[in-house]
């Protein structure tokens, strides 16, 4: 079969490329160690529910389900697998799973060996994961398998004439929990009728993140001597705060051009890349402002600063809490990053034009909580409107939060239809 030939080719390619690439070398090492990890840690008497996520983003979509099952059904153990190092290396110590490992490449022998060791009672594949051999063996063994937070588009291989054979893999799923009606209808065109529209579990996840946000004294000092705990009249005397999250250089060139000419805002910039060279690029773009880096700052420094650069990871979802307007980067590159982490805090969210394949961005645009920026001119126009029209600022922020809150609940919808 062509698919299996392809998988062996991938396996060989990974082995070769790992000689030159650290990330691929880490992935290959983790995949080779996976079976030893499983043999050592799997309890033969336990019942395992297997969750597979390609990377960190998919994990965050599956996380509400993992934690709900862990809380309500403690008789099960959780196995969590990743394909990418960007997922595994960040979450390898996640306490919500009993075993965490890489997923070996989808060859017939790997899939057989993996499932022989684990013997899961059910499996959840998050979003875009369609591994042919793993799924067919699960089906052959009558193990329920669910696709969660999946979304389908007409340009995917399943809906092309040349992809109909591969589309048979979709029949291995016991049920699809899709994000929208369009996905359900597309599946029906190829004879798949076991899809339920439940929405996206990411909406549940960002509400969880909001509830567990971190207290950041340095950021509170930066925005204005404890503005979070001040009266409304005191807050009005503070400068508004613009938070740019996961920004890239094209994003930074646009919004910094505006803020170099407009002094009334304070800026928090959390770039996607925190390499020293990129941090220096940002600093060079900023004119006539006092800049501090988060990891090198103290309370005296931040109190008088105009720009706070977040030069570490893990804080962004909490930092949005301190903003009045958010900008989410990536829209002038391959695609925007997570707009929901900003929207959940009830403020307008700005982003670049590459957002058409991101349902949450399209939803924010439709509801008036998000705004697309094409260039420096449209950015300046929108910022002037938000600055001068406080009614518009408040209404768009409320629209952003209401959009998130109205689409929560996918986790409960999924679990209400599964027998545990």
What integer pLDDT is reported at residue 141 of this predicted model?
96
Tell me the two tokens of residue 215: 């207290």
Candidates 318, 257, 265, 250; CA nearest to 287 is 257
pLDDT at 227: 52
Domains of the chain with bracketed CATH: 2-207+408-415 (3.40.50.11720), 212-406 (3.40.50.2000)
Q: To 5 degrees, how large is the angle CA 264–CA 267–CA 268?
A: 160
Separation between Cα atoms, residue 7 and residue 96, nearest integer Å: 31
Please give the biggest Cα pair distance in the chain.
70
Residue-wise DSSP of 233-263? HHHHTSPPEEEEEEE-HHHHHHHHHHHHH--
pLDDT at residue 178, rounded to an integer: 96
3 state SS for 100-153: EEECCCCCHHHHHHHHHHHCCCEEEEECCCCCHHHHHHHHHCCCCEEEEEECCC
Give the H/E segment covering residue 52: strand 47-53
b/e 329-366 (16+ beta carbons within 10 angstroms → b): bbbbeeebbbbbbbbbbbbbbbbbebbeebbbbebbbe
| Reported pTM | 0.82
For 290, which DSSP code? -
Return phi, psi of residue 200, to 5°. Answer: -115, 125
10-residue mean pLDDT profile of the chain (420 residues): values are: 79 81 81 92 97 92 96 97 89 95 93 96 94 95 96 92 90 96 96 95 94 92 67 59 97 97 95 95 96 95 95 92 97 94 97 93 97 97 97 98 96 94
| CA proximity to 80, closest of 112, 108, 54 | 54
Name residue, tokens 């359900």. Answer: 184
Question: Token digits for 286?
Answer: 């900023």
Q: Which residues are paired to 407 by β-bridges?
A: none
SS3 77: strand
Q: What is the pLDDT of residue 408?
A: 95
The pLDDT, as a whole number, for residue 3 is: 83
Phi, psi at 97, each rounded to 5°: -115, 150
Q: 3-state SS of the chain: helix, strand, coil percent to 5?
A: 50, 15, 35
């Amino acid at each position: 079969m062509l698919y299996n030939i392809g998988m062996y080719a991938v396996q060989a390619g990974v082995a070769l490329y790992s000689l030159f690439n650290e990330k691929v070398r880490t992935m290959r090492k983790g995949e080779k160690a996976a079976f030893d990890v499983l043999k050592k840690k799997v309890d033969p008497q336990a019942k395992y529910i297997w969750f597979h996520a390609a990377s960190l983003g998919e994990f965050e979509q599956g996380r509400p389900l993992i934690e709900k099952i862990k809380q309500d059904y403690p008789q099960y153990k959780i196995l969590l697998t990743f394909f990418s190092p960007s997922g595994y290396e960040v979450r390898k110590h996640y306490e919500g799973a009993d075993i965490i490992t890489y997923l070996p490449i989808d060859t017939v022998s790997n899939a057989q060996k993996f499932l022989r060791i684990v013997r899961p009672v059910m499996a959840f594949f998050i979003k875009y994961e369609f591994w042919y051999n793993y799924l067919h063996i699960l089906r052959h063994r009558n193990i329920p398998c669910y696709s969660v937070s999946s979304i389908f588009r007409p340009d995917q291989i399943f809906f092309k004439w040349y992809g109909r054979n591969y589309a048979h893999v979709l029949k291995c799923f016991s049920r699809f929990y899709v994000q929208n009606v369009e996905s359900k209808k597309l599946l029906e065109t190829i004879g798949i009728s076991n899809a339920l529209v439940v929405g996206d579990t990411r909406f549940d996840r960002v509400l969880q993140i909001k509830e567990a946000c971190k207290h950041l004294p340095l950021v509170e000092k930066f925005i204005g001597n404890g503005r979070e705990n001040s009266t409304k009249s005191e807050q009005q005397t503070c400068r508004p705060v613009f938070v740019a999250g996961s920004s890239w250089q094209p994003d930074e060139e646009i919004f910094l051009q505006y803020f170099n000419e407009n002094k009334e805002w304070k800026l928090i910039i959390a770039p996607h890349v925190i390499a020293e060279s990129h941090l220096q690029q940002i600093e060079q773009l900023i004119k006539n402002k006092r800049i501090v880096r988060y990891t090198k700052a103290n309370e005296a420094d931040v109190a008088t600063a105009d720009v706070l650069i977040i030069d570490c990871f893990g804080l962004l979802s909490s930092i949005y809490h301190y903003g009045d307007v958010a900008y989410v980067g990536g829209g002038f590159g391959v695609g925007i990053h997570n707009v929901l982490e900003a929207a959940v805090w009830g403020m307008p969210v700005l982003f670049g034009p590459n957002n058409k394949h991101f349902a949450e961005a399209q939803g924010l645009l439709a509801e008036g909580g998000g705004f697309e920026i094409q260039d420096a001119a449209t950015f300046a126009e929108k910022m002037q409107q938000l600055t001068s029209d406080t009614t518009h600022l408040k209404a768009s922020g409320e629209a952003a939060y209401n959009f998130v809150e109205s689409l929560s609940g996918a986790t409960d919808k999924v679990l209400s239809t599964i027998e545990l």
